[in-house]
Amino acid sequence: MNSIYKGHLGETPFDIRILAMEHLPIIQRLQTIVYNALPDQSVLQPLSQGEFEYILNGNGLMIGAFVGENLIAFRALLEPEIDDEHLGRDCGIEESELSRVLYQEISNVSPDYRGFGLQQTLAKVIMNQVDVKHFDYICATVKPFNIPSLKDKFSQGMVVAALKIKYGGKLRYVFFKKTVEEVLLFTESCKVLMSNTTMQQQLLKEGWLGVQVFMENDEWFVEYKKL
């Protein structure tokens, strides 16, 4: 498989390739390694074999980072079914536009290769693969206090549009961005404790958007801005 990106992790060369069904065993193996290494396994919702197969069969895109022939990281985009849980509705996207939404799905990096910004590199590479003629929006969900994933989404210019119960009872931030970058001109700003779900939900209901997370006095805050 031809590389779509080449780089170095320190002095170690790596390349990024588009993944196919033949890669499924090594994808699942890496997901297991990453999941087992997590101190808090609730921050990651592993994908089932069926979900991986759905993406790899043309309903999205998966890319992987390799050192030699060793898969060390992967990232996925999913073309979702339009169902009752569709994230586009949570973000205020019109019903007629839901077919133009992609989800940022799982992102895994081997514990042996953390600290090199590989997750962000994969994000940039996979977003460059998106066909902007067919897709206008990217959506994603992140669990509150999953700080690395929250920072990952904000670093890509995604904003929080909702904070609600998803996936059968799990509280999640719902992020979105347009595939063609736009400049958002905000007029007001405020900060809210990440633990204050009610206040955040009220702001989101009033049209505020979450734009970054930060720590202050040993507590995590979310900055909200209003257009």
Whether residue 8 is found in the same domain as residue 61: yes
Whether residue 19 is found in the same domain as residue 49: yes
Cβ-proximal residues to 93 (8 Å cutoff; 6+ apart), any chain:
101, 137, 176
Structural domain tally of the chain? 2
Q: Is 62 exposed, middle or buried (0-12, 13-18, 19+ CB in 10 A)?
A: buried
Whether residue 222 is found in the same domain as residue 142: no
3: nearest Cα among 13, 16, 14, 12: 16
Q: What CATH code is carried by the domain that includes residue 63?
A: 3.40.630.30
Whether residue 175 is found in the same domain as residue 187: no
Whether residue 149 is found in the same domain as residue 195: no
Whether residue 169 is found in the same domain as residue 94: yes
Whether residue 61 is found in the same domain as residue 46: yes
Q: Please report the pLDDT score of residue 175 as a whole number.
A: 98
Please, what sign has the CA dihedral across residues 164, 165, 170, 174? negative
Q: Please report the pLDDT score of residue 119 as a whole number.
A: 92
Whether residue 103 is found in the same domain as residue 69: yes
Whether residue 107 is found in the same domain as residue 7: yes
Q: pTM (2 decimals)?
A: 0.91
Query: Domain span at residue 35?
Result: 3-181
Whether residue 162 is found in the same domain as residue 189: no
Whether residue 142 is found in the same domain as residue 210: no
Return the bridge partners of 16, or none: 5, 65
Q: Please report the pLDDT score of residue 1 as a whole number.
A: 60
Whether residue 213 is found in the same domain as residue 132: no
Q: Cα(22)–Cα(31) distance, rounded to whole angstroms?
A: 16
Each residue's pLDDT, cut to its tens digit, for the chain (227 residues) gives: 689 999 999 999 999 999 999 999 999 999 999 999 988 887 777 899 999 999 999 999 999 999 999 999 999 999 999 998 999 999 999 999 999 999 999 899 999 999 999 999 999 999 999 999 999 999 999 999 999 899 999 999 999 999 999 988 889 999 999 999 888 888 899 999 999 999 999 999 999 999 999 999 999 999 999 98
Among 149, 164, 181, the domain-final residue is 181
